[in-house]
Structure formats: structure tokens, C-alpha cells
Amino acid sequence: MSGQNKIFRREKMRNMSKFIAGASALALIAGAASAQTIEDVQEGAEVTQDGNLNSILVDQTGSTNGVMVEQSALRGFIDIDQDGADNRALVMQEDDFDTTPGQAPFFDEDPDATVSQSGTANDAMIYQSFSNNARNHDATITQSGERLEGVITQTASGGTARGNSANIDQTGADGTSSILQSTATGAENIVANITQTDAVVGSNAAILQEAEGTQTGDINADINQTGSGVSYIDQSIMTIKSKGVDATINQTDGGYASINQRMENQQQSDFSALINQTGDSSALIDQRGTVEGTTTMSATIDQMGMGNDALITQIDLTDTDAIGDGRITSSIMQVGSFNSADILVRNRDNTATVIQSGNYSSADVDQLSRENSITVLQNGTGASAAEMNTADIDQNAVGATATIIQDGHSNTALTSQTSATGGFNEHNASVTQLGSDNLSDIDQFGHGPVGNTASVTQGGDGFASTVSQNGSGNVANVTQGLIVPAN
């Protein structure tokens, strides 16, 4: 694939990511605005509590009901149940960690809020704010019907937030869910979950998690959708020694999914992202670190269906030779035809894998820095062989390894390996093509005394192979005409 076409495809995918992010942000704002008022409703309830160990229970039936509750307390509890259409629910809870001398702190039963709605065109918002040491706060919205909106916001402005969770469960068509969790001085065991099911018409889901301070860990975000939905997860971790940040999106019946993870401080590790999709889908994972010592990123996209697109970008924005940076892994698996997989990685010790089963698919991988490896496997499904697939690998590195295996006919394998500035060659490229009318091209260029190795095996007939090498100590082996039929 030409460089111009690759740029076009990646720009298309990034534009889609911006669209998803914009749509999610709009959903968050729209959901909050609609839930923040009980005007224009025929029946309404408003409750305010100040103090500890308080409870609010509200039960409404019928249409156009509204409820707004405000609670400023430790160990508060709110439960709202609405049955009908065009209902509104707004919950506001504030919790200031109790530091009164001689009084035991309340950690285990800090404010909880639950909103349950059934019917059409219902809105719910839960807003929880903590000024010091937020612990064990829970917010849950459960909705069934159509044209639903749910928003949960949890913010902590002081101390370390621990054990807080936000959950939205929507059943029905055309749902919008948004969760925002923000901490100022560190976070541990923070969980956000959105589940949208039975969505014949697509639903939208967004999770935004932000953390600052020190020693952030166990930050989790999960979105599960059925129907043609849009999902977006953004995790911005700006803490020192953070680890254990995970994001997962599961979609069935097609959809758009995007995961963005940002690491903006020192000694960060164990960041992982996973997208599972069935149907005609698009998936993007973007992981970036900004300082030395950012390690252990992993990104995985699994897709099943026709016409899927997958893009993984993993970049360390500091010096690519920084000590301690590395252990970056990425994987794309696609089952079906007319799929495309793109991977762009910049760091040390990168490992990438692309597996495609079907016809007319393409895999494009770019790796920068050193000690990189890539494996591309393209084959058919069942007893059939794959046809018209393309694998395109570009490695600008020291000591790069590339392996392409294509089982089928009329496939193309392109490998380009060059040396990073100041490095030597030591590249290894291996291409195996089983079937007829296949094309292989390997280009290995660099400098220094250590040579490159290229190996090509082509079976069937109608094959073509080109190997270009410069420098000293190179080895090239080409074997053609073996009777190794495709599956």
C-alpha cells in the first residue's frame, strides 16, 4: 500500500475518533442539562438534608414527574424509583471527610445513591462531590424504555479517592450514558461501568476518568453495548507511580469504539485497553506516555464480521532510547473479509501481532525505535484459502524482526526495514506464502558492520519475489516452487 493511501486511511480513522469524542462530550453536556431541572413537570418533589446517617426515599408513578434531592452528609443514602414517561431525577451529594477529634472516620458507608426509572424519555443525573478523602462512594442509574439519558459525575478535590464506583444500566433503544470521574490528589480502586442492551436503535456511551497526584492504581472502565452503538473511554492519568489502568469495550451488532489513555508523569505501568466487536465496526486505541519510565502498555482489538477497521497507536513522546521504557504490545485479530488493520508504535521492545482470516483484507504496521518485532498471519476461514490480502510492514529500528505468513492466492507481502539514527542493521525478515500468484518484496537498508537476514518461501506457481539489501554481512534465501497447496 502506498504511503499516501496509508496516511489517508489513518487520517480517516482519527477523524472518526474525534467525532466519537465530540459526540460523547455533547452527550455528557446534554444529559446533565436535561437532568438538572424539574421545571415543566406536573408533579415534583424536592428534598434537602444536612447531617450524618440520613436517608431519602422517593417513589413516583405516572408521567412528567420530577424529583431533586440534595444531601450534605456522611453515610447518606438516596433511593429514587420512578415508573412512567418524561420523568426527571437529580441527585446531589456532598461528603466532607470527618476529622473531628475523638470521632472515628466514616470510611465504609459513605454516601450511596440509586436511581431507577422505567418508561420512555426519562432522564437521571447523580452528582457526587468530595472535598477530602473520598471513600467507598457508589452511584447507580438503572433505566428501561426508550430515549433514555443517564449521567453520573464523581469529583474529589482533596485527599486520596478510594473504592468509588459509578454504574449505569440502560435497557432499550436510543440511550445516552455518561460517567465522569475526577480526582485531584490520587486515586485507588475507581470503577466505572456502562451497560446498554436491547438497543435496536444505536446508543451512546462515554466514560472520562482523570487522576492527579501520586500512586494511582486500579482504575477501571468498562462499556458493554448490544446494537449499533458508539462508545468512548478517555483515561488521563497524571500521577507519579501509577499502575493498573484498564479499559474495555464490548460491542455486538456493529458499532464505533474509541479508547484513549494518557500517561503524563513518571514511573507509570500496566496500562491496558481491549475492544471486542462483532458486525461492521470500527475501533481505535490510542496510548501515549510523555515522560521517561513509561512502561507496559498493551492494546488488543478483536473483530468478527465484514468491513471492519482497526487502528492502534502507541507512542512514548520522550526519547525513544530512554532507560526503562519498553514492553509495549499490540494485537489485532479480525475474522471476515474486507477488513483493515493499522498499527503505529514508537518505543523500545515493541511486539505487534495481526491475524486476519478472510479475503480482501489489509494489515499495515509501522514501528519506530529498537528491538521491534511484528507478526502478520493472513489465511482463510474453514476449508477455503485467503485471497487478495496485503501485508505492509515498515520498521525504522535497530534489530527489527518481521514475519509474514499468507495462506492463499494473489496475496502481497511488503517489508521495509531501515536503521534508526546511530544504530546498526541486524534486521530479520521472513515471508511465507502458500498458494499461487503471490508477491513478496523485502527492502533492508541501514549502516554498520552487522548484516541483515531475509528469507522467502513461495509455493504454488505464478510467484514473484524481490530482495534488496545494502551493507555488509547480509544473507538472503529465496525458495520458490514448492508444492505446498493453500488450505
Q: Evaluate whether 243 touches 269 at the Cβ level (below 8 Å).
A: yes
186-190, 341-345, 441-445 — which is least confidently predicted?
Answer: 186-190
Phi, psi of 5, deg, nearest 5 = -65, -40
Q: Report the first-to-last Cα separation within the chain, whole angstroms.
A: 26
pLDDT tens digit sequence for 297-314: 899 999 999 999 999 998
In the chain, domain spans: 1-98+119-481
Beta bridge partners of 344: 313, 366
Give the span between the Cα atoms of 15 and 7, in whole angstroms.
Answer: 12
> Would the pLDDT of 6 be above 80?
no
* Amino acid identity, position 266: Q
Cα three-residue angle 315-321-325, rounded to 5 degrees: 60
Cell of 324: 526503562
Give dist(CA 427, CA 429) in Å, integer.
7
Residues in the chain: 487
Strands (E), 133-203: 138-144, 148-156, 161-162, 165-171, 175-183, 187-197
| Inter-residue contact 212 to 187 (CB < 8 Å) | no
**Lookup: cell for 259:** 479508547
- Count Cα atoms within 13 angstroms, Cβ side, for 20: 27
The CA R_g of the chain, rounded to the nearest whole Å, is: 26
Residue range 269-298, pLDDT digits in tens:
678 999 999 988 999 999 987 766 666 789
Rounded alpha-carbon distances, angstroms, from residue 147 to 26, 32, 50, 61, 352: 15, 15, 34, 18, 41
Neighbours of 455 (CB within 10 A): 17
The pLDDT of 374-382, averaged and rounded, is 85
Q: Average pLDDT, stretch 412-431?
A: 82
- Which residues lie closer than 8 Å to 158 by C-beta, 6 or more apart? 130, 131, 132, 133, 184, 185
User: pLDDT exceeding 70 applies to what percent of the chain?
Assistant: 75
For 439-474, how does the pLDDT look when each residue is reduced to its tens digit (9 = 90+)? 999 999 876 667 889 999 998 888 999 999 987 788
pLDDT for 33 beyond 60 = no
Nearest to 140 by CA among 160, 119, 166: 166
Render 76-114 in DSSP notation, one character per residue.
-EEEEEEESSS-EEEEEEEEE----TT-----TT--EEE
Please give the full DSSP string across 458-485, using - where no structure is assigned.
Answer: EESSS-EEEEEE-SSS-EEEEEEEE---
- Cell numbers representing residue 449 in the block: 558492520
Instruction: Answer for the pair 317, 344: CB distance below 8 angstroms, yes or no.
Output: no
Are the beta carbons of 162 and 191 closer than 8 angstroms? no
Q: Does 172 score more than 70 pLDDT? A: yes
| Whole-number Å distance between alpha carbons of 259 and 285 | 5
The 10s digit of each residue's pLDDT in 213-265 is: 666 678 899 999 988 889 999 998 876 666 778 999 999 988 899 999 987 76
Structure confidence at residue 332 (pLDDT): 98
User: 366: number of CA atoms within 13 Å, CB side?
Assistant: 13
CA distances from 51 to 45, 71, 73, 74, 94 (A): 20, 8, 5, 7, 10
